[in-house]
Structure 1
Amino acid sequence: MTNLSPGDHPEAILFDTASTVKTSQDGEHIGIDLERHHVKKGNRTAPKSEDPYLLLLVKLYRFLARRTDAKFNKVVLRRLFLSKINKPPISLSRITKESSTYPDASNKIIVTVAPVTDDNRLLTVPKLTVAALRFTRAARERILNAGGETLTLDQLALRAPTGTNTILLRGKRNTREAVKHFGMGPHKNKKPYTISKGRKFERARGRRKSRGFKAFNFCTLIYATITASNASKTFRIRASSGALAVLFFILTLSTISSVSGTPYFTLIMVIDAFLGLSSSILSVTVVALAALFGPAAMQACFAGQAAVGVVVSFVQFMGAIIADTDSPDGDTAKPGPTVFFFGLATAFVLFSLIAHSALLRTPEYTEIVQKWEAGKVLLVEEPGGTVYVDEEEEGRDTEEQGISVPTDDLGIEVPQVKGRVSIWEVAKINKLYNLAVGFCFAVTLSVFPPITAYVAPTSSSMFTLGTFIAFHFLVFNVGDYLGRFVCAYPMFQFWKRKQLATYSFSRILFIPLILMCNVRAPGMGTRQGTNIQLGPYIFLPRFPFGIHKRPLLWSLYDVCPLYRAQWSY
């Protein structure tokens, strides 16, 4: 066999180790490079899509990339070739954040070869000129309403053919839902696929936590009410308060711990269940204890609860302000406000235990509660009202102390105690009261916070979205406290069934007033304020909304413990 050189024949084979195929001198492919077999070049030279508008843009920018020296056109052309996954949408909040680093961003054109979407968490959109493949309707409206301009990529080619005075952005490719499930094996922080799919399963963790708390709360309320006559109120208050202090302290430590994933979720669910258990026992016991001292003590008890609500709302409002100050864009979550909130809750429960210890040593507590728990006190019906008789002094002068106002003044009929009374008889007598309370809470929970929290601020310089919602709760709780406080004055006290029911049903008049705050003009975004420019006056409906609730509820709670004290003990 004769060894041939490339010059011996015009079609001699040239071996090029850098190429993927063997070529002849004429440039014709005549073989496959065995050293780079099955190696495919993955870079696209044209889009796979058959969209005629996209193909026209490719033709335009292919011409610009060939006839100009600007690298900008080559980058735009290459991004037009990409698949839909590699052209992720970019939100207005991301555009605003990235462009804020440029001092003259309002004079530049922001370019993205991707769709532009709206972000309702962004309250204020600055004046921007944005060029993109397409815009959602809400994003386009918000940009135009802010005095900006939206351009297509062909309009951009006429205005800036070489990409001068532009800012080129792209979205994050790893924010897709499928990327969250990527990873091999456990302990990779990947999101598991669930066998049962749907909104009630994979996305239900927050709902499960809420339902778990409500289920434990409801069951415990039933148990605490049934056993209220035989259990020691002192022991229940101290045990449940101690449990709450421990649980809040664990929550305080959990905010700064490194535990995450399934262990953290399990811990929170267990704490949530025990919080529902302890808080239900504590609330029922405190109300039953206050009922022994009469309406004045009941009013003070509920007014104190409202005062605590005002303090908690104020702490949440200050925490929202601190969080917005530390992270104005809302991208980073710092545990500082959360640690302070749970730490304050722990300190408050411990202070309540100290206050209860001091209450145990008062003569009033000893005379009423401890004798009642020891079984030495009997309820006796007298024409003027309900009194209690001490068994130790039954043969001597009868000591009388009204644990409630006279029933004639209440305008209600109190049945005589004849042995054990069925709970259904109690419900039948209190049916109008129960209906009034249920309707009051139904209106409250349907309007506040679901509707009121959705009202956007008209001035972003005064409030952000987080501080605006927190201030909603603060205003409502201040009105709540005033509504409970004024019940100490006789002119605000009323007891008749029909009067209370009418007062409860009139609460529905607040619904159209609050819904008016959500009216928006055509073309306004979902977070662009209301059509009625109320400014700070938007909080005025919340204030009477909170005040309106409390005279009604306190009057109902004042009547109902009267029955409970006579039937349970």
Structure 2
Amino acid sequence: MTQVTRNHDSRSSFDRAQNERDSHFQPSTLHSGRSTAQPKASFSRISLIMSRIVDSVKKSLLGRESQSYQSIPNGDRHSAGEADASRDPISELEQPQKVDMFEYGVFVLLGVAMLWSWNMFMACATYFQGRFAENQFILTYFQSMILGVSTIVNLAVMIYLSYRQSSANYPYRICISLVLNCVTFTILALSTIMFRVSAVPYLVFTLFSVFVAAASTGFSQNGVFAFVNTFGGIYTQAIMTGQGVAGVLPAIAQIISVLLVPSGTGEAGEDGASASPKSAFLYFMTATFVSGLCLCLFLVLLSRHGITIKGQTQPLFTSETDSEDIGAHKSVSLVLLSKKLSYPAFAIWLSFCLTMVFPVFTQAIVSTCPDGSGRAFQPDVFIPMAFLLWNLGDLSGRMACGYDRIVLRNPKMLVAVAALRALFIPLYMMCNVAGKGAAINSDMFYWLVQLGFGFTNGWLGTSAMVVAPDYVDDDEKEACGGFMGLCLVMGLATGSVMSFFV
């Protein structure tokens, strides 16, 4: 400041001398106006520049000082004052740019594995039709039985795990889920070529496989969504993308596995009306491959961060009751969450409740084209293609919510749009259900219905999940995600029960 004062005094003396010289050569009118205004303006500009330089030096020093506290975990976030305020905006700007592509890919694959089993049982309807062809009752209701067992078991597991959050070991739950998937899908694949039993025993075996796969999905949903919160929002989006991909890939795998096997080798033995055991074997083994690959990559991800399944000293797979070291989690009342999230929760429940009619119609609707129109119009390809179109629409709806303007944020509109989705049911009934004829004799109409119903499901479901955290406090957002997931599964369970009456 002493140096600044000296400069100021010397500059002022220089300006006074200059003014005295200028007064001898300029008219009095100019001397009284412009001659005094110019030095004052010049002095103001110089002072402003000097003050800015001093301020920038102070800010840079304070910025370096505040950065030294960023790596301290669990510190007092509000005692730092100005240092904390200068740190948070920087973190918010830099965080979206720090994306590890390996970790992003692992979370995408976790999202795929999470819903693969459910979509697998849906897309492989033609194989099960061949296995249950001898029993008309099972043939008619097996799809609803699979849906009912899957969603009810999934819901029960999620409710059970929601009461064990205080000592939850999420990496352990994820690994258990992937191991169960590998075992279940391998046995299911072997059943296609080794188990030669009647319809009733095979139905019991299939429903038991669905039971285990649904429990595995519950462990995965509970573990993955909680675990990903420690990595940031971009990785949560990766899981949602993976879930959308999980609907597309099983249908593609089913179509490819069917086309790799010559027609006429199915169990039904007529016109390739059902998928062959060999194509079903290849299809189920793809699920084993996906789950096994996901498990290996997830273990690599844990090792990169120094995380073990049971803490730092525990073995890989032990009882979950010994996992207190993972840390406690805040418990929020479900009643409180239901009050704060009444509109988004009801919207996602209603939407997925209505969604459950699509598997029942999809496995029953056949092409309007004649039998000789080509392999693509045979049921063993046409039905998986219909599942593929629905899931493409669902994936498109999820991805569209990446644009903020497309997200449906009005809570009442969420409920209204969810209720309007019921209009798709009469549209399905206008198609060629069970080959009885279609009101609109066009496969294109049916495909548009599938795309539209899938798009609205992905769009509405993702919108509800995106806007839900806006209605709760910051320390309730983790519980909010679990509650919305619970409402989603409850919608699936309710819809699966209602599908018996469609």
Shift of 1:253: 1.9
Are positions 1:536 and 2:438 aligned together?
A: no
Determine if contact 1:458/1:528 at 8 Å carries over to the other structure.
no
Shift of 1:267: 4.7
Which residue pairs with 2:183 in the alignment? Answer: 246
Determine if contact 1:479/1:544 at 8 Å carries over to the other structure.
yes
Which residue pairs with 1:355 in the alignment? Answer: 297
Determine the C-alpha separation between the residues in 2 that align with 1:452 and 1:212: 19
Determine if contact 1:517/1:532 at 8 Å carries over to the other structure.
yes
- Quick one: which of 250, 274, 277 aligns to 2:212? 274
Are positions 1:337 and 2:269 aligned together?
A: no
Return closer, same or farther for 1:476/1:420 CA change in 2, 3 Å cut-off: closer
Are positions 1:484 and 2:398 aligned together?
A: yes
Alignment of 1:49-128 (within 5 A): none
Identical-residue share of aligned pairs (%): 26
Determine if contact 1:456/1:529 at 8 Å carries over to the other structure.
no
Determine the C-alpha separation between the residues in 1 that align with 2:435 and 2:356: 22
Alignment of 1:518-537 (within 5 A): 518=432, 527=435, 529-537=437-445
Which residue pairs with 1:438 in the alignment? Answer: 349
Matching residue's letter, 1:301:
I
Matching residue's letter, 2:391:
N
1:198-250 C-alpha deviation (Å, 9 max, x unpaired)? 979x9988866654444432221211222234211111101221121111112
Alignment of 1:374-413 (within 5 A): none
1:66-98 C-alpha deviation (Å, 9 max, x unpaired)? xxxxxxxxxxxxxxxxxxxxxxxxxxxxxxxxx
Determine if contact 1:456/1:530 at 8 Å carries over to the other structure.
no
Greater relative contact order structure (CA < 8 Å, 6+ sep): 2
Are positions 1:545 and 2:453 aligned together?
A: yes
Which residue pairs with 1:449 in the alignment? Answer: 359
Are positions 1:565 and 2:475 aligned together?
A: no
Which residue pairs with 2:226 in the alignment? Answer: 288
Determine if contact 1:228/1:285 at 8 Å carries over to the other structure.
no
Shift of 1:499: 3.2
Determine if contact 1:433/1:556 at 8 Å carries over to the other structure.
yes
Determine the C-alpha separation between the residues in 2 that align with 1:494 and 1:420: 29
Determine the C-alpha separation between the residues in 2 that align with 1:210 and 1:513: 22
Determine the C-alpha separation between the residues in 1 that align with 2:328 and 2:154: 31
Determine if contact 2:244/2:391 at 8 Å carries over to the other structure.
yes
Are positions 1:428 and 2:336 aligned together?
A: no
Determine the C-alpha separation between the residues in 1 that align with 2:413 and 2:215: 35
Determine if contact 1:478/1:543 at 8 Å carries over to the other structure.
yes
Determine if contact 1:456/1:528 at 8 Å carries over to the other structure.
no
Determine the C-alpha separation between the residues in 2 that align with 1:204 and 1:530: 22
Are positions 1:223 and 2:165 aligned together?
A: no
Which residue pairs with 2:369 in the alignment? Answer: 459
Return closer, same or farther for 1:322/1:433 CA change in 2, 3 Å cut-off: same
Which residue pairs with 2:111 in the alignment? Answer: none
Determine if contact 1:455/1:530 at 8 Å carries over to the other structure.
no
TM-score (normalised: structure 1): 0.49
Alignment of 1:503-514 (within 5 A): 503-514=417-428
1:360-407 C-alpha deviation (Å, 9 max, x unpaired)? 2455x97xxx999856799xxxxxxxxxxxxxxxxxxxxxxxxxxxxx
- RMSD between superposed Cα atoms in Å: 4.0
Which residue pairs with 1:116 in the alignment? Answer: none
Structure 1 SS opposite 2:431: helix
Determine if contact 1:299/1:485 at 8 Å carries over to the other structure.
no
Determine if contact 2:350/2:419 at 8 Å carries over to the other structure.
yes
Count residues in correspondence: 325
1:292-341 C-alpha deviation (Å, 9 max, x unpaired)? 44543332211111112211011122344456723453488731011101
Return closer, same or farther for 1:347/1:230 CA change in 2, 3 Å cut-off: same
Structure 2 alignment gaps of length 5 or more: 1-125, 127-133, 313-322, 484-502
Determine the C-alpha separation between the residues in 2 that align with 1:488 and 1:215: 31
Which residue pairs with 1:307 in the alignment? Answer: 245
Which residue pairs with 1:148 in the alignment? Answer: none
Determine the C-alpha separation between the residues in 1 that align with 2:355 and 2:342: 20
Determine if contact 1:455/1:529 at 8 Å carries over to the other structure.
no
Which residue pairs with 2:254 in the alignment? Answer: 316
Return closer, same or farther for 1:333/1:495 CA change in 2, 3 Å cut-off: closer
More strand by share: 1
1:151-192 C-alpha deviation (Å, 9 max, x unpaired)? xxxxxxxxxxxxxxxxxxxxxxxxxxxxx9xxxxxxxxxx9x
Determine the C-alpha separation between the residues in 2 that align with 1:204 and 1:536: 27
Return closer, same or farther for 1:453/1:199 CA change in 2, 3 Å cut-off: closer
Matching residue's letter, 2:279:
P
Shift of 1:358: 2.7
- Quick one: which of 274, 298, 303 aligns to 2:236? 298
Structure 1 alignment gaps of length 5 or more: 1-120, 122-179, 181-190, 192-197, 379-418, 520-525
1:99-147 C-alpha deviation (Å, 9 max, x unpaired)? xxxxxxxxxxxxxxxxxxxxxx9xxxxxxxxxxxxxxxxxxxxxxxxxx
TM-score (normalised: structure 2): 0.55
Determine the C-alpha separation between the residues in 1 that align with 2:432 and 2:274: 30
Which residue pairs with 1:65 in the alignment? Answer: none
Return closer, same or farther for 1:362/1:501 CA change in 2, 3 Å cut-off: farther
Determine the C-alpha separation between the residues in 1 that align with 2:262 and 2:165: 46
Shift of 1:474: 0.7
Determine the C-alpha separation between the residues in 2 that align with 1:332 and 1:493: 40
1:418-437 C-alpha deviation (Å, 9 max, x unpaired)? x8532222122222122101
Shift of 1:510: 3.3
